[in-house]
Copies of this chain bind each other. A is one copy, B any other.
Amino acid sequence: MLEAREGAIIQSVNRLLAEKGFESMTVDEVAADVGIAKASLYKHFPSKEDLAAAAMVSVMRRAQAFLDTLPAGPSPMEQLRAVVRWTMGLKLAGEMPSLPSQNSRLRSALMGNKAYMDGLIDVSDRLGAWIEAAQAQGALNPKLPPIAVLYTLYARACDPVLEFLKMSGLYRDEEIIELVMTTCFDGLKSR
């Protein structure tokens, strides 16, 4: 019962964060969207930052669940590609919260959230292992530092190219994903 309510809250926060961003999202909006009073919201989450952190924890759990479904096959490169596809699909579906990297209050809340940090480290470790394996196989450019590759993959979750192409109205979501998959893995140059 309490969990269901908090789930509904997180779902609203997730959608509003994806739609308007952290600073433009107001707690009043969240309360209205959930259909409860603002004061009730604050009984569940002590601050706006904690609301955002809860949304990030939720997304991180979904990511972990998705990673679990990927077969531990012989191709780490395919696994990385699958993760990027999934991430961009989430963003295009309006379910990827977008947080400002500058806001320090928010950063503190995230850093202090054990569930979030544990999830982030777990996901990063798993991706990191695949990155190194793919480089060892020669599928991924071995000259790139693994951390640069990791950040480049994470950045697909907040890539403005996705929303710009969507706004243009020229392509379907699947086409947009394939375009950005190409620029991400193959680059802009001809092969």
Number of chain A residues close to chain B: CB under 8 A = 46
CB pair B145 A170 closer than 8 Å: yes
Closest chain B residue to A141 by CB distance?
B190
Closest chain B residue to A101 by CB distance?
B160
CB pair A190 B103 closer than 8 Å: no
From B23, B155, B185, A187 is in contact (CB under 8 Å) with: B185
Please tell me if A172 contacts chain B, counting CB pairs below 8 Å.
Answer: no
Protomer copies: 2
Please tell me if A43 contacts chain B, counting CB pairs below 8 Å.
Answer: no
Could you mark each residue 158-180 of chain A with 1 if its beta carbon is under 8 Å from any beta carbon of chain B, else 0?
A: 11110111001010000000011
Closest chain B residue to A98 by CB distance?
B102
CB pair A100 B161 closer than 8 Å: no
User: Which residues of B sit under 8 angstroms from A3, Cβ to Cβ?
Assistant: none
CB pair B102 A189 closer than 8 Å: no
CB pair A160 B170 closer than 8 Å: no
* Contacts A/B (CB < 8 Å), 16 sampled: A23-B100, A24-B100, A24-B102, A138-B190, A141-B189, A141-B191, A142-B190, A144-B182, A148-B161, A148-B165, A148-B179, A151-B165, A158-B160, A185-B188, A186-B187, A187-B187
